[in-house]
Structure 1
Amino acid sequence: MPEHTPESTPLSREWQAFWLALGFLTRIPMLVRIDYSQALMNRSSVYFPVIGLLLGALYALAYLLMALLWPPVVSLLLVLALHLWLTGAFHEDGLADSVDALGGGYTVADRLRIMKDSRIGTYGTVALVTALALKVALLAEASPVWLALLIAPCVARLTPLLMMRAMHYVSDPGTSKSKPVAEAFSGRRLLVATAFVALACLAMMPWAPMLPILAAISVTLVGLAWGRNLEHNIGGYTGDALGAGVVFTELALLLGLAALA
Protein backbone atom coordinates (compact mmCIF):
# COMPACT_ATOMS: atom_id res chain seq x y z
CA MET A 1 0.00 0.00 0.00
CA PRO A 2 1.29 3.55 -0.58
CA GLU A 3 2.83 5.39 2.29
CA HIS A 4 0.92 8.62 1.65
CA THR A 5 -2.78 8.01 2.14
CA PRO A 6 -5.31 10.89 2.21
CA GLU A 7 -5.36 10.94 6.02
CA SER A 8 -1.58 10.45 6.27
CA THR A 9 0.37 13.15 8.12
CA PRO A 10 4.08 13.49 8.89
CA LEU A 11 3.37 12.57 12.51
CA SER A 12 1.37 9.46 11.57
CA ARG A 13 4.10 8.35 9.17
CA GLU A 14 6.72 8.70 11.91
CA TRP A 15 4.47 6.74 14.29
CA GLN A 16 4.17 3.96 11.71
CA ALA A 17 7.93 4.07 11.12
CA PHE A 18 8.55 3.57 14.84
CA TRP A 19 6.31 0.50 14.97
CA LEU A 20 7.84 -0.85 11.78
CA ALA A 21 11.30 -0.55 13.36
CA LEU A 22 10.02 -2.36 16.43
CA GLY A 23 8.62 -5.18 14.31
CA PHE A 24 11.80 -5.39 12.24
CA LEU A 25 14.20 -5.64 15.19
CA THR A 26 12.09 -7.63 17.64
CA ARG A 27 9.34 -10.21 17.90
CA ILE A 28 7.04 -7.72 19.63
CA PRO A 29 3.77 -7.50 17.65
CA MET A 30 3.02 -4.28 15.79
CA LEU A 31 -0.17 -2.89 17.33
CA VAL A 32 -0.89 -0.26 14.69
CA ARG A 33 -1.88 -0.43 11.02
CA ILE A 34 1.17 -0.04 8.77
CA ASP A 35 0.90 1.33 5.23
CA TYR A 36 4.05 -0.52 4.22
CA SER A 37 6.38 0.86 1.60
CA GLN A 38 10.12 0.77 0.99
CA ALA A 39 10.26 4.48 1.85
CA LEU A 40 8.59 3.82 5.20
CA MET A 41 10.98 0.94 5.85
CA ASN A 42 13.89 3.25 5.18
CA ARG A 43 12.37 5.94 7.41
CA SER A 44 12.09 3.43 10.25
CA SER A 45 15.86 2.99 10.58
CA VAL A 46 16.22 6.26 12.48
CA TYR A 47 14.33 4.61 15.35
CA PHE A 48 16.80 1.74 15.78
CA PRO A 49 18.53 3.39 18.81
CA VAL A 50 15.10 4.18 20.29
CA ILE A 51 14.15 0.51 20.04
CA GLY A 52 17.51 -0.33 21.60
CA LEU A 53 16.77 1.93 24.55
CA LEU A 54 13.33 0.38 25.03
CA LEU A 55 14.85 -3.09 24.98
CA GLY A 56 17.53 -1.94 27.39
CA ALA A 57 14.87 -0.65 29.78
CA LEU A 58 13.19 -4.07 29.71
CA TYR A 59 16.51 -5.81 30.36
CA ALA A 60 17.44 -3.49 33.21
CA LEU A 61 14.04 -3.88 34.88
CA ALA A 62 14.12 -7.64 34.43
CA TYR A 63 17.59 -7.82 35.97
CA LEU A 64 16.62 -5.72 39.00
CA LEU A 65 13.62 -7.97 39.64
CA MET A 66 15.49 -11.22 39.05
CA ALA A 67 18.39 -10.12 41.26
CA LEU A 68 15.95 -10.10 44.19
CA LEU A 69 15.64 -13.88 43.84
CA TRP A 70 18.84 -15.18 42.25
CA PRO A 71 22.59 -14.44 42.18
CA PRO A 72 23.81 -11.80 39.69
CA VAL A 73 25.25 -14.24 37.15
CA VAL A 74 22.07 -16.33 37.11
CA SER A 75 20.03 -13.15 36.67
CA LEU A 76 22.24 -12.03 33.80
CA LEU A 77 21.89 -15.37 32.04
CA LEU A 78 18.11 -15.12 32.37
CA VAL A 79 18.21 -11.58 30.96
CA LEU A 80 20.34 -12.84 28.08
CA ALA A 81 17.73 -15.52 27.39
CA LEU A 82 15.06 -12.81 27.44
CA HIS A 83 17.08 -10.77 24.95
CA LEU A 84 17.52 -13.69 22.56
CA TRP A 85 13.81 -14.47 22.74
CA LEU A 86 12.64 -10.86 22.25
CA THR A 87 14.94 -10.23 19.31
CA GLY A 88 14.91 -13.71 17.83
CA ALA A 89 18.72 -13.66 18.10
CA PHE A 90 18.54 -11.29 15.13
CA HIS A 91 21.98 -9.68 15.54
CA GLU A 92 23.64 -12.81 16.90
CA ASP A 93 22.58 -14.66 13.76
CA GLY A 94 24.25 -11.93 11.72
CA LEU A 95 27.43 -12.32 13.74
CA ALA A 96 27.57 -16.08 13.20
CA ASP A 97 26.85 -15.82 9.46
CA SER A 98 29.38 -13.01 8.98
CA VAL A 99 32.21 -14.79 10.78
CA ASP A 100 31.44 -18.03 8.96
CA ALA A 101 31.62 -16.18 5.64
CA LEU A 102 34.82 -14.28 6.33
CA GLY A 103 36.50 -17.31 7.88
CA GLY A 104 35.47 -19.91 5.33
CA GLY A 105 35.24 -18.03 2.03
CA TYR A 106 38.17 -17.44 -0.32
CA THR A 107 36.43 -15.20 -2.84
CA VAL A 108 33.81 -12.47 -2.58
CA ALA A 109 31.23 -14.76 -4.21
CA ASP A 110 32.03 -17.56 -1.75
CA ARG A 111 31.75 -15.25 1.24
CA LEU A 112 28.40 -13.84 0.15
CA ARG A 113 27.10 -17.34 -0.55
CA ILE A 114 28.18 -18.61 2.88
CA MET A 115 26.70 -15.54 4.55
CA LYS A 116 23.27 -16.37 3.07
CA ASP A 117 23.46 -20.00 4.20
CA SER A 118 21.18 -20.52 7.20
CA ARG A 119 23.43 -23.25 8.58
CA ILE A 120 26.06 -22.29 11.14
CA GLY A 121 29.65 -23.49 10.85
CA THR A 122 32.63 -23.80 13.16
CA TYR A 123 33.74 -20.18 12.82
CA GLY A 124 30.25 -18.87 13.51
CA THR A 125 29.70 -21.19 16.46
CA VAL A 126 32.96 -20.19 18.12
CA ALA A 127 32.26 -16.49 17.54
CA LEU A 128 28.71 -16.75 18.89
CA VAL A 129 29.63 -18.69 22.04
CA THR A 130 32.57 -16.37 22.72
CA ALA A 131 30.48 -13.23 22.24
CA LEU A 132 27.66 -14.42 24.51
CA ALA A 133 30.04 -15.60 27.25
CA LEU A 134 32.05 -12.37 27.07
CA LYS A 135 28.88 -10.31 27.23
CA VAL A 136 27.72 -11.99 30.44
CA ALA A 137 31.20 -11.72 31.98
CA LEU A 138 31.48 -8.01 31.15
CA LEU A 139 27.99 -7.24 32.41
CA ALA A 140 28.84 -8.96 35.68
CA GLU A 141 31.81 -6.59 36.06
CA ALA A 142 29.96 -3.41 35.09
CA SER A 143 28.87 -0.99 37.78
CA PRO A 144 26.00 -0.46 37.93
CA VAL A 145 24.83 -3.48 35.97
CA TRP A 146 21.41 -2.01 35.24
CA LEU A 147 23.04 0.97 33.48
CA ALA A 148 25.06 -1.27 31.17
CA LEU A 149 21.96 -3.29 30.32
CA LEU A 150 20.00 -0.10 29.66
CA ILE A 151 22.38 1.87 27.48
CA ALA A 152 24.40 -0.74 25.53
CA PRO A 153 21.53 -1.79 23.18
CA CYS A 154 20.83 1.87 22.38
CA VAL A 155 24.42 2.82 21.58
CA ALA A 156 25.09 -0.38 19.61
CA ARG A 157 22.22 0.24 17.19
CA LEU A 158 23.80 3.46 16.00
CA THR A 159 26.71 1.63 14.34
CA PRO A 160 24.58 0.04 11.57
CA LEU A 161 23.24 3.47 10.66
CA LEU A 162 26.77 4.84 10.26
CA MET A 163 27.74 1.85 8.14
CA MET A 164 24.66 2.21 5.93
CA ARG A 165 25.46 5.87 5.34
CA ALA A 166 29.17 5.39 4.64
CA MET A 167 29.30 2.07 2.76
CA HIS A 168 27.79 0.27 -0.22
CA TYR A 169 25.23 -2.49 0.12
CA VAL A 170 26.31 -5.81 -1.38
CA SER A 171 23.84 -8.69 -1.57
CA ASP A 172 20.88 -9.96 -3.53
CA PRO A 173 18.19 -7.27 -3.13
CA GLY A 174 15.50 -9.79 -4.04
CA THR A 175 16.18 -11.94 -0.97
CA SER A 176 17.43 -9.36 1.53
CA LYS A 177 15.43 -7.93 4.41
CA SER A 178 17.91 -5.08 4.89
CA LYS A 179 17.93 -3.52 1.43
CA PRO A 180 14.73 -1.46 1.99
CA VAL A 181 16.19 -0.20 5.27
CA ALA A 182 19.52 0.80 3.81
CA GLU A 183 18.53 2.36 0.52
CA ALA A 184 18.84 6.16 0.40
CA PHE A 185 19.45 6.47 4.12
CA SER A 186 19.71 10.22 4.68
CA GLY A 187 22.41 12.08 6.58
CA ARG A 188 19.76 14.17 8.33
CA ARG A 189 18.14 11.14 9.89
CA LEU A 190 21.55 9.85 10.90
CA LEU A 191 22.14 13.12 12.75
CA VAL A 192 18.79 12.72 14.51
CA ALA A 193 19.67 9.18 15.62
CA THR A 194 23.13 10.29 16.75
CA ALA A 195 21.65 13.16 18.75
CA PHE A 196 19.23 10.76 20.47
CA VAL A 197 22.06 8.42 21.48
CA ALA A 198 24.15 11.36 22.69
CA LEU A 199 21.29 12.67 24.84
CA ALA A 200 20.67 9.19 26.29
CA CYS A 201 24.35 8.92 27.24
CA LEU A 202 24.43 12.42 28.73
CA ALA A 203 21.39 11.57 30.86
CA MET A 204 23.30 8.61 32.33
CA MET A 205 26.39 10.65 33.27
CA PRO A 206 25.50 10.86 37.00
CA TRP A 207 26.11 7.09 37.16
CA ALA A 208 28.83 6.87 34.49
CA PRO A 209 30.60 10.20 33.79
CA MET A 210 32.72 8.72 30.98
CA LEU A 211 29.79 7.11 29.19
CA PRO A 212 29.47 9.63 26.30
CA ILE A 213 33.17 9.28 25.51
CA LEU A 214 33.06 5.48 25.74
CA ALA A 215 30.00 5.38 23.49
CA ALA A 216 31.62 7.61 20.87
CA ILE A 217 34.82 5.57 20.91
CA SER A 218 32.96 2.25 20.68
CA VAL A 219 30.76 3.25 17.74
CA THR A 220 33.65 4.92 15.90
CA LEU A 221 36.17 2.11 16.39
CA VAL A 222 33.75 -0.67 15.46
CA GLY A 223 32.39 1.28 12.52
CA LEU A 224 35.87 1.93 11.15
CA ALA A 225 37.49 -1.43 11.93
CA TRP A 226 34.55 -3.66 11.02
CA GLY A 227 33.66 -1.49 8.04
CA ARG A 228 37.20 -1.60 6.68
CA ASN A 229 37.28 -5.38 7.10
CA LEU A 230 34.03 -5.72 5.19
CA GLU A 231 35.13 -3.40 2.41
CA HIS A 232 38.29 -5.44 1.97
CA ASN A 233 36.57 -8.84 2.02
CA ILE A 234 33.19 -8.32 0.34
CA GLY A 235 33.25 -4.76 -1.00
CA GLY A 236 30.59 -3.36 1.34
CA TYR A 237 28.06 -4.47 3.93
CA THR A 238 25.19 -6.91 4.17
CA GLY A 239 22.32 -7.22 6.63
CA ASP A 240 24.24 -9.91 8.52
CA ALA A 241 27.25 -7.61 8.74
CA LEU A 242 25.10 -4.87 10.26
CA GLY A 243 23.90 -7.31 12.92
CA ALA A 244 27.49 -8.27 13.69
CA GLY A 245 28.30 -4.58 14.05
CA VAL A 246 25.66 -4.28 16.76
CA VAL A 247 27.17 -7.18 18.72
CA PHE A 248 30.72 -5.83 18.35
CA THR A 249 29.68 -2.36 19.51
CA GLU A 250 27.91 -3.72 22.58
CA LEU A 251 31.02 -5.68 23.53
CA ALA A 252 33.30 -2.69 22.94
CA LEU A 253 31.14 -0.46 25.16
CA LEU A 254 30.88 -3.12 27.87
CA LEU A 255 34.66 -3.56 27.80
CA GLY A 256 35.01 0.15 28.53
CA LEU A 257 32.40 0.15 31.29
CA ALA A 258 33.93 -2.91 32.91
CA ALA A 259 37.40 -1.37 32.79
CA LEU A 260 36.16 1.76 34.55
CA ALA A 261 34.32 -0.29 37.15
Structure 2
Amino acid sequence: MLVRPWLRFRLALSFFTRLPVGALGESGDEDFGRSFVYLPLVGLLLGLLLSGASLIISVLFPPIILPPLLLALHLYLTGGIHLDGFMDTFDGIFSARKPERVLEIMRDSRVGAHSVLAVTVLLMTKAAAIYALWEWGHLPDQWQVSGLNQIFDWRPTWKVISGLYGQGVSPLWITLLWMPMAGRWVVVYMVSGFPYARSQGMASLFNRYIDRSVLAAGTLFVAAVAGLVAGLAGWVFLALLWLFFRWWGGKLTRFLGGLTGDIYGAGCEIGEVLLLLTAVLLLRFL
Protein backbone atom coordinates (compact mmCIF):
# COMPACT_ATOMS: atom_id res chain seq x y z
CA MET A 1 0.00 0.00 0.00
CA LEU A 2 2.98 2.27 0.59
CA VAL A 3 4.64 1.40 -2.71
CA ARG A 4 3.14 4.31 -4.69
CA PRO A 5 3.80 7.05 -2.09
CA TRP A 6 7.38 5.81 -1.61
CA LEU A 7 7.93 5.76 -5.38
CA ARG A 8 6.52 9.27 -5.76
CA PHE A 9 8.62 10.61 -2.91
CA ARG A 10 11.74 9.22 -4.57
CA LEU A 11 10.62 10.69 -7.90
CA ALA A 12 10.42 14.10 -6.21
CA LEU A 13 13.90 13.61 -4.75
CA SER A 14 15.33 12.54 -8.11
CA PHE A 15 13.84 15.53 -9.97
CA PHE A 16 14.41 18.30 -7.41
CA THR A 17 17.71 17.14 -5.87
CA ARG A 18 20.90 15.21 -6.59
CA LEU A 19 20.35 12.89 -3.63
CA PRO A 20 20.62 9.16 -4.46
CA VAL A 21 17.25 7.42 -4.67
CA GLY A 22 18.13 4.01 -6.09
CA ALA A 23 16.35 2.29 -8.97
CA LEU A 24 12.92 3.82 -9.51
CA GLY A 25 11.42 1.04 -11.58
CA GLU A 26 8.36 1.73 -13.68
CA SER A 27 6.50 5.01 -13.24
CA GLY A 28 4.16 7.03 -15.39
CA ASP A 29 3.20 10.64 -15.90
CA GLU A 30 0.69 10.45 -13.08
CA ASP A 31 3.32 9.26 -10.61
CA PHE A 32 5.63 12.08 -11.67
CA GLY A 33 2.87 14.68 -11.48
CA ARG A 34 1.63 13.53 -8.08
CA SER A 35 5.19 13.42 -6.69
CA PHE A 36 4.75 17.18 -6.33
CA VAL A 37 2.91 16.68 -3.03
CA TYR A 38 6.22 15.68 -1.44
CA LEU A 39 8.05 18.86 -2.41
CA PRO A 40 7.85 20.49 1.08
CA LEU A 41 9.17 17.25 2.61
CA VAL A 42 12.05 17.32 0.13
CA GLY A 43 12.72 20.88 1.27
CA LEU A 44 12.80 19.84 4.92
CA LEU A 45 15.31 17.09 4.11
CA LEU A 46 17.50 19.64 2.33
CA GLY A 47 17.16 21.92 5.35
CA LEU A 48 18.36 19.19 7.70
CA LEU A 49 21.42 18.63 5.51
CA LEU A 50 22.21 22.35 5.28
CA SER A 51 21.73 22.91 8.99
CA GLY A 52 24.00 19.99 9.84
CA ALA A 53 26.58 21.15 7.30
CA SER A 54 26.59 24.65 8.83
CA LEU A 55 27.64 23.16 12.17
CA ILE A 56 30.51 21.20 10.61
CA ILE A 57 31.68 24.14 8.47
CA SER A 58 31.53 26.51 11.47
CA VAL A 59 33.79 24.21 13.45
CA LEU A 60 36.31 23.66 10.65
CA PHE A 61 36.53 27.08 8.98
CA PRO A 62 36.41 30.80 9.82
CA PRO A 63 32.88 32.26 9.68
CA ILE A 64 33.58 34.37 6.59
CA ILE A 65 33.87 31.14 4.57
CA LEU A 66 30.56 29.76 5.85
CA PRO A 67 28.14 31.57 3.43
CA PRO A 68 29.84 30.63 0.13
CA LEU A 69 30.35 27.02 1.20
CA LEU A 70 26.72 26.69 2.28
CA LEU A 71 25.49 28.22 -0.95
CA ALA A 72 27.76 25.92 -2.95
CA LEU A 73 26.41 22.89 -1.07
CA HIS A 74 22.83 24.05 -1.60
CA LEU A 75 23.52 24.50 -5.31
CA TYR A 76 25.05 21.04 -5.56
CA LEU A 77 22.23 19.32 -3.66
CA THR A 78 19.55 20.88 -5.88
CA GLY A 79 21.46 20.77 -9.14
CA GLY A 80 20.68 24.47 -9.53
CA ILE A 81 17.21 23.66 -10.87
CA HIS A 82 15.46 26.54 -9.10
CA LEU A 83 18.33 28.98 -9.66
CA ASP A 84 18.22 28.22 -13.37
CA GLY A 85 14.51 29.07 -13.39
CA PHE A 86 15.22 32.28 -11.48
CA MET A 87 17.76 33.39 -14.07
CA ASP A 88 15.51 32.54 -17.03
CA THR A 89 12.59 34.36 -15.40
CA PHE A 90 14.48 37.60 -14.89
CA ASP A 91 15.95 37.45 -18.37
CA GLY A 92 12.39 37.36 -19.64
CA ILE A 93 10.49 39.78 -17.41
CA PHE A 94 13.25 42.41 -17.47
CA SER A 95 13.43 42.35 -21.27
CA ALA A 96 10.48 44.77 -21.57
CA ARG A 97 9.05 42.76 -24.49
CA LYS A 98 5.57 41.51 -25.34
CA PRO A 99 4.33 38.43 -23.45
CA GLU A 100 4.94 36.03 -26.35
CA ARG A 101 8.53 37.19 -26.68
CA VAL A 102 9.06 37.05 -22.90
CA LEU A 103 8.04 33.39 -22.89
CA GLU A 104 10.45 32.71 -25.76
CA ILE A 105 13.31 34.39 -23.90
CA MET A 106 12.57 32.38 -20.77
CA ARG A 107 12.76 29.16 -22.78
CA ASP A 108 16.09 30.18 -24.37
CA SER A 109 19.01 28.40 -22.67
CA ARG A 110 21.38 31.29 -23.29
CA VAL A 111 22.23 33.58 -20.37
CA GLY A 112 21.55 37.30 -20.65
CA ALA A 113 22.74 40.35 -18.74
CA HIS A 114 19.53 40.63 -16.73
CA SER A 115 19.85 37.12 -15.37
CA VAL A 116 23.49 37.64 -14.42
CA LEU A 117 22.68 40.84 -12.53
CA ALA A 118 19.66 39.29 -10.82
CA VAL A 119 21.45 36.12 -9.69
CA THR A 120 24.43 38.15 -8.44
CA VAL A 121 22.17 40.26 -6.23
CA LEU A 122 20.30 37.15 -5.07
CA LEU A 123 23.42 35.22 -4.04
CA MET A 124 25.05 38.25 -2.42
CA THR A 125 21.90 38.87 -0.38
CA LYS A 126 21.68 35.24 0.66
CA ALA A 127 25.34 35.17 1.66
CA ALA A 128 25.05 38.40 3.67
CA ALA A 129 21.91 37.18 5.46
CA ILE A 130 23.56 33.83 6.30
CA TYR A 131 26.55 35.63 7.78
CA ALA A 132 24.29 38.02 9.72
CA LEU A 133 22.36 35.08 11.21
CA TRP A 134 25.59 33.35 12.19
CA GLU A 135 27.02 36.53 13.70
CA TRP A 136 23.80 37.18 15.63
CA GLY A 137 23.85 33.78 17.25
CA HIS A 138 27.60 33.16 17.65
CA LEU A 139 28.26 29.51 18.31
CA PRO A 140 28.12 28.90 22.07
CA ASP A 141 31.28 27.65 23.71
CA GLN A 142 29.94 24.14 24.11
CA TRP A 143 29.88 23.71 20.33
CA GLN A 144 33.59 24.32 19.90
CA VAL A 145 35.82 21.35 19.07
CA SER A 146 37.43 21.41 22.52
CA GLY A 147 34.05 21.17 24.26
CA LEU A 148 31.86 18.95 22.10
CA ASN A 149 31.30 16.65 25.05
CA GLN A 150 29.22 19.42 26.64
CA ILE A 151 26.64 19.20 23.88
CA PHE A 152 24.66 16.63 25.85
CA ASP A 153 24.15 19.14 28.68
CA TRP A 154 22.60 21.70 26.34
CA ARG A 155 18.86 22.30 26.83
CA PRO A 156 17.06 24.70 24.46
CA THR A 157 13.85 26.43 25.45
CA TRP A 158 10.81 27.29 23.35
CA LYS A 159 8.50 30.32 23.33
CA VAL A 160 5.09 30.77 21.76
CA ILE A 161 6.02 33.98 19.96
CA SER A 162 9.41 33.07 18.52
CA GLY A 163 9.78 29.31 18.97
CA LEU A 164 13.46 28.43 19.20
CA TYR A 165 14.68 31.83 17.96
CA GLY A 166 16.51 33.74 20.68
CA GLN A 167 16.46 30.76 23.03
CA GLY A 168 20.06 29.60 22.91
CA VAL A 169 19.83 27.93 19.51
CA SER A 170 21.83 29.37 16.64
CA PRO A 171 19.35 31.35 14.47
CA LEU A 172 21.29 30.23 11.41
CA TRP A 173 20.65 26.55 12.16
CA ILE A 174 16.96 27.19 12.72
CA THR A 175 16.53 29.23 9.55
CA LEU A 176 18.49 26.82 7.37
CA LEU A 177 16.32 24.00 8.68
CA TRP A 178 13.04 25.36 7.36
CA MET A 179 14.12 27.84 4.66
CA PRO A 180 14.22 25.26 1.80
CA MET A 181 10.88 23.84 2.92
CA ALA A 182 9.19 27.26 2.89
CA GLY A 183 10.68 28.06 -0.52
CA ARG A 184 9.25 24.87 -1.96
CA TRP A 185 5.88 25.50 -0.36
CA VAL A 186 5.84 28.71 -2.43
CA VAL A 187 6.17 26.53 -5.53
CA VAL A 188 3.22 24.37 -4.41
CA TYR A 189 1.13 27.49 -3.88
CA MET A 190 2.03 28.98 -7.26
CA VAL A 191 1.29 25.75 -9.14
CA SER A 192 -2.07 25.25 -7.45
CA GLY A 193 -3.09 28.91 -7.33
CA PHE A 194 -2.39 30.10 -10.88
CA PRO A 195 -2.85 28.71 -14.42
CA TYR A 196 0.01 27.33 -16.48
CA ALA A 197 1.11 29.61 -19.31
CA ARG A 198 2.30 26.95 -21.77
CA SER A 199 0.45 24.13 -23.48
CA GLN A 200 3.40 21.79 -23.00
CA GLY A 201 6.39 21.42 -20.71
CA MET A 202 7.56 19.18 -17.88
CA ALA A 203 5.92 21.40 -15.27
CA SER A 204 2.59 20.92 -17.02
CA LEU A 205 2.41 17.44 -15.48
CA PHE A 206 2.35 19.00 -12.03
CA ASN A 207 -0.52 21.27 -13.04
CA ARG A 208 -2.41 18.37 -14.58
CA TYR A 209 -2.40 16.23 -11.44
CA ILE A 210 -2.31 18.79 -8.65
CA ASP A 211 -5.45 19.90 -6.83
CA ARG A 212 -6.38 21.94 -3.78
CA SER A 213 -5.81 18.97 -1.50
CA VAL A 214 -2.11 19.07 -2.37
CA LEU A 215 -1.90 22.73 -1.35
CA ALA A 216 -3.85 22.02 1.85
CA ALA A 217 -1.59 19.10 2.80
CA GLY A 218 1.57 21.04 2.00
CA THR A 219 0.40 24.08 3.92
CA LEU A 220 -0.51 22.05 7.01
CA PHE A 221 2.86 20.31 6.95
CA VAL A 222 4.84 23.53 6.51
CA ALA A 223 2.75 25.39 9.11
CA ALA A 224 3.35 22.61 11.64
CA VAL A 225 7.13 22.69 11.16
CA ALA A 226 7.20 26.52 11.09
CA GLY A 227 5.23 26.67 14.34
CA LEU A 228 7.55 24.14 15.94
CA VAL A 229 10.77 25.98 15.08
CA ALA A 230 9.59 29.61 15.00
CA GLY A 231 6.33 29.75 16.97
CA LEU A 232 3.76 32.35 15.96
CA ALA A 233 6.50 34.22 14.11
CA GLY A 234 6.81 31.26 11.76
CA TRP A 235 3.13 31.53 10.82
CA VAL A 236 3.54 35.27 10.30
CA PHE A 237 6.49 34.55 7.99
CA LEU A 238 4.37 32.14 5.95
CA ALA A 239 1.51 34.64 5.77
CA LEU A 240 3.89 37.30 4.45
CA LEU A 241 5.21 34.89 1.82
CA TRP A 242 1.65 34.06 0.79
CA LEU A 243 0.74 37.75 0.45
CA PHE A 244 3.82 38.52 -1.62
CA PHE A 245 3.41 35.60 -4.00
CA ARG A 246 -0.31 36.11 -4.32
CA TRP A 247 0.51 39.58 -5.61
CA TRP A 248 3.51 38.51 -7.74
CA GLY A 249 1.80 35.44 -9.19
CA GLY A 250 -1.28 37.48 -10.04
CA LYS A 251 0.78 40.19 -11.69
CA LEU A 252 2.68 37.71 -13.88
CA THR A 253 -0.51 35.80 -14.71
CA ARG A 254 -2.19 38.97 -15.95
CA PHE A 255 0.85 39.72 -18.10
CA LEU A 256 1.73 36.25 -19.41
CA GLY A 257 -1.58 34.45 -19.12
CA GLY A 258 -0.19 32.11 -16.47
CA LEU A 259 3.03 30.92 -14.87
CA THR A 260 5.81 28.62 -16.09
CA GLY A 261 8.28 26.16 -14.61
CA ASP A 262 10.94 28.87 -14.63
CA ILE A 263 8.70 31.16 -12.60
CA TYR A 264 8.12 28.35 -10.11
CA GLY A 265 11.89 28.07 -9.67
CA ALA A 266 12.20 31.83 -9.28
CA GLY A 267 9.47 31.72 -6.62
CA CYS A 268 11.44 29.15 -4.64
CA GLU A 269 14.63 31.24 -4.73
CA ILE A 270 12.83 34.48 -3.86
CA GLY A 271 10.92 32.75 -1.08
CA GLU A 272 14.17 31.51 0.45
CA VAL A 273 15.85 34.91 0.42
CA LEU A 274 12.74 36.59 1.83
CA LEU A 275 12.69 34.09 4.68
CA LEU A 276 16.36 34.74 5.43
CA LEU A 277 15.76 38.50 5.53
CA THR A 278 12.63 38.13 7.67
CA ALA A 279 14.56 35.99 10.17
CA VAL A 280 17.21 38.72 10.39
CA LEU A 281 14.48 41.28 11.07
CA LEU A 282 12.92 39.06 13.74
CA LEU A 283 16.19 38.91 15.66
CA ARG A 284 16.30 42.71 15.89
CA PHE A 285 13.18 42.61 18.07
CA LEU A 286 14.14 39.69 20.35
**TM-score normalised to the size of structure 1?**
0.90
Runs of 4 or more, structure 1, over 3 Å off, are none
- Report if the CA contact (8 A) 1:222-1:249 is conserved: no
**Aligned equivalent of 2:233, options 210, 215, 222:** 210
- CA offset digits 1:152-209 (Å, max 9, x no partner): 0001111111111121111251xx221112213111121111111011112213xx65
Whether 2:197 is the aligned partner of 1:180: answer: no
- CA offset digits 1:93-117 (Å, max 9, x no partner): 1111001011115111101100001
Query: For 2:31 and 2:96, how far apart are their aligned partners in 1?
Result: 35
Tell me how far 1:222 sits from its aligned partner. Answer: 3.1
Query: For 2:218 and 2:204, how far apart are their aligned partners in 1?
Result: 19
Query: For 2:252 and 2:209, how far apart are their aligned partners in 1?
Result: 20
Whether 2:123 is the aligned partner of 1:96: answer: no
Q: Percent identity?
A: 34
Alignment of 1:16-95 (within 5 A): 16-95=7-86
Supply the RMSD in Å over aligned alpha carbons.
1.4
**Aligned equivalent of 1:191, options 203, 206, 216:** 216
Equivalent residue pairs, number: 247
Q: What's 1:110 paired with?
A: 101
**Larger Rg: 1 or 2?**
2
Which deviates further from its counterpart, 136-145 or 38-47?
A: 136-145
The residue type equivalent to 2:120 in the other structure is: V
- Report if the CA contact (8 A) 2:83-2:269 is conserved: yes
Structure 1: 5+ residue stretches without partners: 1-8
- CA offset digits 1:95-147 (Å, max 9, x no partner): 11001011115111101100001111111111101001101111222251111
The residue type equivalent to 2:100 in the other structure is: A
**Aligned equivalent of 1:244, options 245, 257, 266:** 266
**Aligned equivalent of 1:145, options 169, 172, 177:** 172
Alignment of 1:134-173 (within 5 A): 134-142=125-133, 143=137, 144-173=171-200
Tell me how far 1:221 sits from its aligned partner. Answer: 2.5
**Aligned equivalent of 2:248, options 226, 229, 234:** 226
Structure 2: 5+ residue stretches without partners: 138-170
